[in-house]
Amino acid sequence: MEPNDTDQGALGNCWLMAGIAGLVEEQPDQKNGYRIKALFGLDGNLTYGNDVGAYVNRLNRAGVWKYVVVDDYLPVCDKSLKPMFATNKQEDNELWVAILEKAFAKVYGSYGNLQNGRTLQAVTEMTQDPSTAFVFDKATELVRLSDAAKPGSWDEEEDSEDEDGPLEMNLDSFFAKLTQWDEQRFVMCLSTPGKDMSGYMDRKAESHEIAKLHKMYQRMGLETGHAYTLLGVRRVNAMNGNEYRLLQIRNPWGNARGEFRGDFGDNSPLWDQIHEHDKEAMGYTKQDDGIFWMTLNDVFKYFCRGGVSFVMDSKSTLSCRGLCLEDFGPTFAIHLKNNTPGAQITTMVSQIPARGKGSTQDLLGLKLRLLQRRDGDKYECPTNGHHIWETNCLLRSDVGSAFALEKGEYILTAATRFQRRGKFTLTVHTGPNVKCDMQPFKIGRDCSKARFLNAGKMFSGCTHRPFSIDVRCRVHEDDVDQYHY
């Protein structure tokens, strides 16, 4: 499996193809595609069910792993009989791209429902890992991390979306952050402006202005309203003494028609100023494979947003599901006792997406908060402790973050906007070689009676049950809830 295997086809689902390509990218000490292979088969048998024409896929839905069974009957073009939708660009006889796309189509209700989407959502549904989105603000020349965890207060009266301001940084800080994410082998993506052109022109722009922008992008080898995979980040020194900050990008189309034609495009004369050993280390080629390089400034100019998915391998997982009632605040928390300095932790609160099977509720405004327990603190309310950070409150199916946790005891809690009723799943991942005990506990209406959950027993410390909870503690691939669509 290679990133160049994915070929988008006739559907406007570049968001999904970009996510797949990002997960296939080679990782240190791992074979290409090991993350994707984990989505196929049952109990390690990748060909389970193939003898009867069935293919078993595993996708994350609302924070819970689901099994999805599909067949290999694929839509084809009338005359050529070639697959109409996603295919393997390099190996015509390989069906894994088409089968995975069909599994998504089944979960979403149809192939048509795969039109338009978020690459970060696709990666989350294939990994159960959280993500953070960023937006390029043309007016201020800053990058806004809309989902990023940040210091904050517990005051619910201040908990409004207007005041949940994003974290902002300049291009220098943003490039440093991209470099850090790239070194950690996280999956990153970029998007060009589509229907919403507010970052480039007035919101009331006429259709001819939109068409003009589209033609300008096509002249540069880019597409509007399109998702791309961000494969790499490099800082290089040229022979002329200039320093360049470069980003390697892949178009899901996988051909020359979708490659950038500006500075550091495949045929740019600027490559003549780069040392051969640097070009070799960067993997620079002139192949018509949809992979190209751009400067950070050009990326900021032509793209409008992007994101990073904090994909963590060899992780231990705690996943808890609950129901929040209307007249109760934060009703659920997880106690983290970390014994590893600088432990890598990711956390995410999930709900059923707005489209696809099982979409029976409106999206809740969700956020996460982390507090550090101090000596003498009791588990009375999640306000007891030093406030470390919180995410923005967002109307999304998944809201999460990644962070390094120092030694100590912490409380992680999820909160909903205006105490609306709805189901959610809270998931915590810890990285390899991390010693971190995780245990959920309920918070009653009488916060002074909140206690830890005992194995197999319901919480008995409050007079009213604030919500029901199904606790699951799993490690690695054992965290699977068998479910057939």
Q: What are phi and psi of 133, to 5 degrees?
A: -95, 150
- Band of the pLDDT at 409, cuts 50, 70, 90? confident
**Lowest mean pLDDT segment, chosen from 11-15, 116-120, 142-146, 195-199:** 195-199
Q: What are phi and psi of 230, to 5 degrees?
A: -95, 110
The count of other CB atoms within 10 Å of the CB of residue 51 is 7
Could you give the angle at which helices 14-24 and 96-108 cross, rounded to 10 degrees?
130
72-91 per-position pLDDT tens digit: 888 887 777 778 887 777 67
Look at residue 469 in the predicted model and tell me its pLDDT. 32
Judge contact between 298 and 247, C-beta under 8 A. Answer: no
Helix (H) or strand (E) holding 244: strand 243-250
- Band of the pLDDT at 189, cuts 50, 70, 90? very high
- Band of the pLDDT at 481, cuts 50, 70, 90? very low
Q: Between 422 and 298, where is the model more confident? A: 298
pTM: 0.77
Mean pLDDT of 137-153: 71
d(CA 76, CA 286): 32
Mean pLDDT of 197-211: 54
Judge contact between 47 and 11, C-beta under 8 A. Answer: no
Q: Between 203 and 225, where is the model more confident? A: 225
60 is catalytic: no
Q: What is the mean pLDDT of the chain?
A: 74
Look at residue 188 in the predicted model and tell me its pLDDT. 92
Look at residue 328 in the predicted model and tell me its pLDDT. 47
Q: Using the predicted structure, report yes or no on whether residue 18 has a pLDDT greater than 70.
A: yes
- Band of the pLDDT at 166, cuts 50, 70, 90? low
Per the structure block, which two tokens stand in for 328?
Answer: 């109760």
226 is catalytic: yes
Highest mean pLDDT among 47-51, 136-140, 423-427, 436-440: 136-140
* CATH 3.90.70.10 boundaries in the chain: 131-308
Quote the DSSP letter at residue 466.
-
Look at residue 306 in the predicted model and tell me its pLDDT. 93
Judge contact between 66 and 481, C-beta under 8 A. Answer: yes
Percentage above 70 pLDDT, the chain? 70
Q: Using the predicted structure, report yes or no on whether residue 449 has a pLDDT greater than 50.
A: no
Of the residues 4, 14, 57, 320, which is catalytic?
A: 14
Instruction: Give the three-state DSSP class for 450.
Output: coil
Look at residue 456 in the predicted model and tell me its pLDDT. 27
429 is catalytic: no
Q: Using the predicted structure, report yes or no on whether residue 139 has a pLDDT greater than 80.
A: yes
Q: Between 157 and 215, where is the model more confident? A: 215
- Domain 316-478: top CATH class: mainly beta
- Band of the pLDDT at 147, cuts 50, 70, 90? low
DSSP string, 279-338: HHHHT----SSSEEEEEHHHHHHH--EEEEE---SS-EEEEEEEEE-TT-S--EEEEEEE
Q: Which CATH superfamily is domain 131-308 in?
A: Cysteine proteinases (3.90.70.10)
Mean pLDDT of 1-27: 77
Q: Between 198 and 401, where is the model more confident? A: 401
Look at residue 177 in the predicted model and tell me its pLDDT. 93
Q: Using the predicted structure, report yes or no on whether residue 363 has a pLDDT greater than 80.
A: no
Look at residue 455 in the predicted model and tell me its pLDDT. 28
Judge contact between 453 and 441, C-beta under 8 A. Answer: yes
Instruction: Give the three-state DSSP class for 368.
Output: strand
The candidate with the shortest Cα–Cα distance to 199, out of 131, 134, 120, 245, is 134
Of the residues 13, 57, 88, 226, which is catalytic?
A: 226
- Band of the pLDDT at 209, cuts 50, 70, 90? confident
Q: Between 18 and 362, where is the model more confident? A: 18
* CATH 2.60.120.380 boundaries in the chain: 316-478
238-261 per-position pLDDT tens digit: 998 899 999 999 888 766 567 899
Look at residue 32 in the predicted model and tell me its pLDDT. 56
Per the structure block, which two tokens stand in for 58?
Answer: 């595993």
Q: What are phi and psi of 335, to 5 degrees?
A: -90, 125
The count of other CB atoms within 10 Å of the CB of residue 466 is 21
Of the residues 251, 304, 381, 429, which is catalytic?
A: 251
